[in-house]
Amino acid sequence: MSSDEAPMPASSAQPAPLSQQAMAARGAPYLDDLNPAQREAVEALDGPVLMLAGAGTGKTKALTTRIGHLLLTGKCRTNEILGVTFTNKAAREMKTRIGRLMGEAVEGMPWLGTFHSVNAKLLRRHAELVGLKSSFTILDTDDQLRLLKQLLVANNIDDKRWPARMLAGIIDNWKNRAWTPEKVPAGEASAFDRRGVELYAQYQARLRDLNAVDFGDLLLHMLTIFQEHEDVLAQYQRWFRYILVDEYQDTNVAQYLWLRLLAQSHKNICCVGDDDQSIYGWRGAEVGNILRFEKDFPGAKVIRLEQNYRSTPHILAAASGLITANKGRLGKTLWTDAEEGEKVRLIGHWDGEEEARWIGEEIEAMQGGTRGLAPMSLDHMAILVRASHQMRAFEDRFLTIGLNYRVIGGPRFYERMEIRDAMAYFRLAVSQEDDLAFERIVNTPKRGLGDKAVQTIQRAAREHGLSLVEGARLCVDEGRLSGKGLKELRTLVQGLDRWHGQVISEADTHVELAEMILDESGYTAMWQNDKTPEAPGRLENLKELVKALEEFENLQGFLEHIALIMDNESEEQGEKVTLMTLHAAKGLEFPAVFLPGWEDGLFPSQRSMDESGLKGLEEERRLAYVGITRAEKLCTISFAGNRRVYGQWQSALPSRFIDELPQEHIEVLTPPGLYGGGFGAAAPSAGPSAVQERAMRADVYNSPGWKRMQSRQQRPVSQPAEARNMTIDLEATSSFTTGERVFHKKFGYGAITAIEGDKLEIAFDKAGVKNVVSRFVVAADLADDIPF
DNA sequence: TCAGCCGAAGTTTTT
DNA sequence: CTTCGGCTGA
């Protein structure tokens, strides 16, 4: 760590006043780029500032310019700014933009990062104050769960009644609220939770023994240190002369306390956020933090960024109208100079499949530029859903019509099984003390070392106070195991020794070593021999991992940094529609956005409302607000009268949020097959209440007449899409035959059961019968030759 | 030890 | 309808 980053006595931390730069900054051209509110937010450098930045109002620009301004006016140096974000992506983007602003002349900002990475860095310096070594490892959710499971077993607790997941959730929750085991309030400890507190304490003790922390600990330990060691706190209060916080509405209690401690002396804290976009209450975020800011920091300057540069007036008005139904907002009025554009479109469908079909066709139409609209790239369209299982209907549909899509979300790169397995091997090569890593890979690939063998090893280790690797060595030497297991374990231990020796001697580059480890351990072979559909992808990921290694000096350096980086940056090429959850969409924007599944119970989610009542409903509404405000030009909301939920058909009412949309900014489209538009024709203002109105609309969909009309109309309606594909059929010569074995990237191996043009019906070995366009499939015998 | 069967449950997610 | 996890029988 460079001494530049280290806190020093205040006297030497004083930067020389750079009057020249200050002069330059005063007339700086970058200030002219800002609108008045942004400029105010940039220039109010001292004292507490709350920047209320609505969606698409140039928040990041204001934030990065503010940092640039701090530096250029000589207020402080780069290493005296503490900037915290929630995601690596946000931190990275800010660094890039500051770099651009400062003409690359500025060296990196060492204290601009996520809450977690900043705290990890701090904790490495002061680990001994909470009984850790500075080399502590950071456990992720997986390790955490394994540990908790062991704890539950050790306590003879039926893991059916108290699943490890639940305990993990409870502990996380407590950590979010800055409760160490001693501080969990007695009131919190119901019959269930009292046991929980004890387990929590045991868990923390176990972590300390392992010299490990979980994500929550990173912040909680530092908070404890700040609270118990005034000198350390004072040191950082002096050092971090200016504090900036991104997405303040998402901070939890622990983060709030942490910030307040650091800012309380100079109060140079600038929090940026939008109370209307607070959607993470369920993981501990406290909207209250942002609502309370002025009370926490009397005399705080509150600056509202309200000019929106993203969406058309109709989209903005629809979103604004919806969000006014929430109580206790700080309140903002977004406005824009943009041209009027199209109204937000609303359409109801008979069922979820028809909704997916309609959206698919709409996307194709927009891509082709029909209906007088300019052709639009698939990259500019997104479908945002409330819950990830909703994506399935779209994936199925897009696969059959051959529409390219990308799914954002799902397991992150470093969360994938194969990556974590490989990392466990690397961890062990670096340090044989890593018991969790050993447990993870001892029988992966299968070595005939099951529960019993592991228990034997654990017993041996505990008896002699050794690590599991040493315990294993003991078992091998003393022949405590037998047969295949013994032989395999001996090989493994020898391998671990050899690899560890390589790390020490640096005989090979770390990249070569990594490859060697994966090969010699039999891990690569395990996936090569695996014929499930996922195997090729996993091998691909392993190659990616090795490639990522190249960026680092050595394995240690890699492991050090990787624990906190959970990005999933895979640069796919080719135009694709984006499919993701509303949560994942926060901060993003797309010219065209589809918001399907607006049905009561689904969105707003029944569970949210049941568990959190009005608070939950309001958070759902903010989610809706986030969804609409992602759209630049075209926003299409839809719902389905019927949907298959867990294999059962269920009918639902259109979402109450639909009633809350201001009518004058909504265009109601006629669902395919429904003549005369039975939906939304009547104005809800007069006569029946909104709920009755909604019920009436729903009745239209549930009436036998409607259903009859629907079924009669369905076929002709889908005709155009069929016709389009038929044209392609004539050109594309399908070279497949019925009965042929094929391989599909997603579904794996299967046999063709029917061929219709370029569409194949395939009975997959694992995925069941699917209709797939032929170009997504290769002959099975060719699949083995694909170099993975 | 491990594959295969049965039963239960089934939001949102970053680090 | 799936998927995951735990249990059982070979």
Q: Which nucleotide is nearest to A89 (CA to C1')?
A: B14
- Cis check for the bond before A445: say yes or no (omega within 30 of 0): yes
**Domains assigned to chain A:** 29-130+217-306 (3.40.50.300), 137-210 (1.10.10.160), 344-404+576-668 (3.40.50.300), 414-568 (1.10.486.10), 740-779 (no CATH)
| Bases of strand B lying below 7 A from some protein CB | 1-3, 9-15
A561 contact to strand B (CB, 7 A limit):
no
How far from the centroid of its chain's Cα atoms is residue A567's Cα? 9
Residue A14 catalytic?
no
**Which of A39, A622, A630, A656 does the annotation list as catalytic?**
A630
Active site residue A738: no
Beta strands in A253-295 (DSSP E): 269-273
Name the nearest CA neighbour of A434 among A384, A484, A527, A496.
Answer: A496
**Would residue A277 show up in a list of annotated catalytic residues for this protein?**
yes
* A745 is known as an active-site residue: no
Q: How far is CA A390 from the centre of its chain?
A: 17
Active site residue A228: no
Within A343-457, strands assigned E span 344-351, 381-385, 405-407
Positions of chain A with pLDDT lower than 70, given as ranges: 1-27, 104-106, 188-193, 371-372, 566-572, 671-734, 766, 781-788
**A270-282 burial by CB neighbour count: b if 16+ within 10 A, else e?**
bbbbbbbbbbbbe
CA of A452 vs C1' of B4, distance in Å? 21
Name A residues 693-712 whose Cβ lies under 7 Å from strand C.
none
Q: Is the CB of A732 under 7 A from strand B?
A: no
Q: Residue A612: which nucleotide is closest by CA–C1'?
A: B11
Nearest nucleotide to A454, CA against C1' atoms: B1
Torsion of CA A309, A311, A317, A321, to 10 degrees: -90
Q: Which amino acid is at A177?
A: R
Residues A419, A413: Cα–Cα separation, whole Å: 7
Catalytic residue chosen out of the listed positions A5, A21, A43, A60 = A60
- Nearest residue to nucleotide B8, by CA–C1' distance, is A160
Query: What pLDDT sits at residue A6?
Result: 56
A202 is catalytic: no
Answer for A173: CB within 7 Å of strand B. Answer: no
pLDDT tens string A58-110: 999 999 999 999 988 888 988 999 999 999 889 999 999 998 888 766 678 89
Question: What pLDDT does A349 receive?
Answer: 92
Least Cα distance to A139 among A225, A253, A218 occurs for A218
* CA pair distance A524, A538, nearest whole angstrom: 10
Evaluate if the CB of A161 falls below 7 Å from strand C: no
Report if CB A647 to strand C is under 7 Å.
yes
CA A16 from chain centre, in angstroms, equals: 42
Taking the CA of residue A724 and the C1' sugar atom of nucleotide C7, their distance in angstroms comes to 52
Cα separation, A48 vs A40, in Å, equals 13
Nucleotide nearest to A648 (CA to C1'): C1
Nearest CA to A515 out of A561, A554, A547 is that of A547
Which sign, positive or negative, has the C-alpha torsion A614, A617, A623, A625?
Answer: negative
Catalytic residue among A247, A351, A600, A758: A247
